[in-house]
Amino acid sequence: MKTATNLLPTLTAALMLLGSITVEAVEKNNIIIILADDYGYGDVGCYGSKRFKTPNIDALAAGGIRFTDFHSNGAVCSPTRAALLTGRYQQRTGITGVVTAAGHRHTGLDLKETTFAEILKPAGYATALFGKWHVGYKPDYNPIHQGFDEFTGYVSGNIDYHNHRDQTGKADWWKQDRLTPEEGYSTDLITDHAVNFIEGNKDNPFILYIAHEAPHYPYQGRLDPPRYTERGRGNDPVTLKVYKEMIEVMDENVGRVVQAVVDAGLDKQTAIFFLSDNGPFSIGSAGPLRGKKGQIMEGGHRVPAIAYWPGKIEAGRVSNLTAMGADLLPTMAAIGEVPLPEGVKLDGINLLPHLIENKQLTPRPLFWGVKGKIAVRQGDYKLITNRSFSDPVLYNLKSDLGETKNITAQHPEIVHDLIKLLKAWHKDVTEGVKKRT
């Protein structure tokens, strides 16, 4: 048996080891993604909105990078989320449409797909999603099976902000994979969980995915009555007053998250991304862009997007880099210094050299598929056509951001080249893939 005297060196060595482990863990950087739902390019203060005040989101832009040419991969919720989670075009995952709550007949994001939570977890990251999942309704497809240690939120596309029923009338508020009712206005409730998570994980690295409901319908402010009953979605009128409240309450909650990071002393080691999952719906505005949610025009998928990381990202930059949601997974892998998944065809690229060193990245074409339409973007040009490639329209987004002048006749060679790219991409991402929505 050891005496107290000769135990001391052993104890000291153990404490030193413990100390070095703690220091190493603290040095890993945290990542927070805040995803708004159906939040239009024209409805953010720093993107020129005159209708709504968004001082907290604007502060992220003022302290970081505001992207002017950032795109959601889908023009509706589920496809965008599939791409964001996997770093791949959603077509490869089979999630090409909305995974609706109605009838429960859909599957969801294949458990074989590798999410950003799964690539960061092995490096010691605590992982959480609070808010909307929407890539699998059944418990088998719950976020806890896709790398998230913690999930509190809803699995359908939208819920009553107060009673948390989905639009078919079913209860849809979960803790992990169990229905667990909680009181609260969803935007506030999602943030309550996020703030608790930040406080509880200040001594270890974390990735926190905050998927807000706002400003998706139903149109309800903090004091408005329920819109959904056991019979489903009822009358759901929208007014500018309520829409404004929904956006401004979300902004306030963005501020709460940033404050929680500061309070935990983590502001220099936490990268925060804010973006929307697709274009605006209803009275939402896409600003100068043509089209809205569900459309292949810019208004459907060019979204507000901000990257904020004090001390790493220079404040007040505006970037015109053409980028997409699927880029976040490789970017997060770089931030967390973890390897990319082996044997997985990724489409996103690591944006970190652009974010922190202002490097110009190698230009590449980007692609979208929305309902019967597909589109390719290369440089200033965007070509949209149907799936038989027979009715191309070509726009120059630099001179015509609003997509008003079809210039196919003036540029047959560009049309030819872009269709060729589009055909190859379409074949690559869809061949052998089973639809999962």
DSSP class of residue 29 equals P
CB of 213 to Ca ion, least distance (A): 9
CB of 377 to Ca ion, least distance (A): 21
Please name the residues in contact with 392: beta carbons below 8 A apart, sequence gap of 6 or more.
Answer: 383, 384, 385, 408, 415, 418, 419
Beta strands of 234-339 (E only): which ranges?
270-276, 305-308, 317-319, 323-324
* Exposure string over 84-96, b if 16+ CB within 10 A, otherwise e: bbbbbbbbbbbbb
DSSP 408-429: TTT-HHHHHHHHHHHHHHHHHH
Distances (CA, A) of 128 to 35, 61, 177, 210: 14, 24, 13, 8
Query: Rounded to a whole number, what is the largest CA-CA distance in the chain?
Result: 91
- Given the complex with Ca ion, which of 60 and 77 has the nearer CB atom? 77
- Given the complex with Ca ion, which of 277 and 403 has the nearer CB atom? 277
CB of 18 to Ca ion, least distance (A): 45
Amino acid at 106: H
Backbone angles phi, psi at 75, to 5 degrees: -105, 0
Amino acid at 18: L
Q: Give contact residues for Ca ion (rule: CB under 5 A).
A: 37-38, 77, 277-278
CB of 216 to Ca ion, least distance (A): 6
The two structure tokens encoding residue 74: 């889908």
Count CA within 13 A, CB hemisphere, residue 115: 26
Please give the helix or strand (H or E) that residue 175 lies within, else none.
strand 174-175
Burial class (CB in 10 A: 0-12, 13-18, 19+), 421: middle
CB of 401 to Ca ion, least distance (A): 22
- Given the complex with Ca ion, which of 34 and 349 has the nearer CB atom? 34
CB of 290 to Ca ion, least distance (A): 18
* Exposure string over 321-335, b if 16+ CB within 10 A, otherwise e: bbbbbbbbbbbbbbb
Q: Measured at CB, which residue is nearest to Ca ion? A: 77
Give the Cα separation of 396 and 17 in Å (integer): 59
Comparing C-alpha atoms, which of 324, 316, 400, 393 is closest to residue 361? 324
- Given the complex with Ca ion, which of 38 and 251 has the nearer CB atom? 38
Partners of 275 in beta bridges: 35, 305
The angle formed by the CA atoms of residues 416, 421 and 426, to the nearest 5 degrees, is 125
- Given the complex with Ca ion, which of 134 and 164 has the nearer CB atom? 134
CB of 434 to Ca ion, least distance (A): 24
CB of 303 to Ca ion, least distance (A): 10
CB of 37 to Ca ion, least distance (A): 4
- Given the complex with Ca ion, which of 37 and 58 has the nearer CB atom? 37
Give the Cα separation of 267 and 347 in Å (integer): 30
CB of 218 to Ca ion, least distance (A): 14
CB of 411 to Ca ion, least distance (A): 33
- Given the complex with Ca ion, which of 190 and 394 has the nearer CB atom? 190
- Given the complex with Ca ion, which of 70 and 206 has the nearer CB atom? 70
- Given the complex with Ca ion, which of 167 and 385 has the nearer CB atom? 167
- Given the complex with Ca ion, which of 267 and 277 has the nearer CB atom? 277
Comparing C-alpha atoms, which of 55, 78, 38 is closest to residue 284? 38
Partners of 131 in beta bridges: 153, 211
Partners of 381 in beta bridges: 378, 396
- Given the complex with Ca ion, which of 204 and 282 has the nearer CB atom? 282
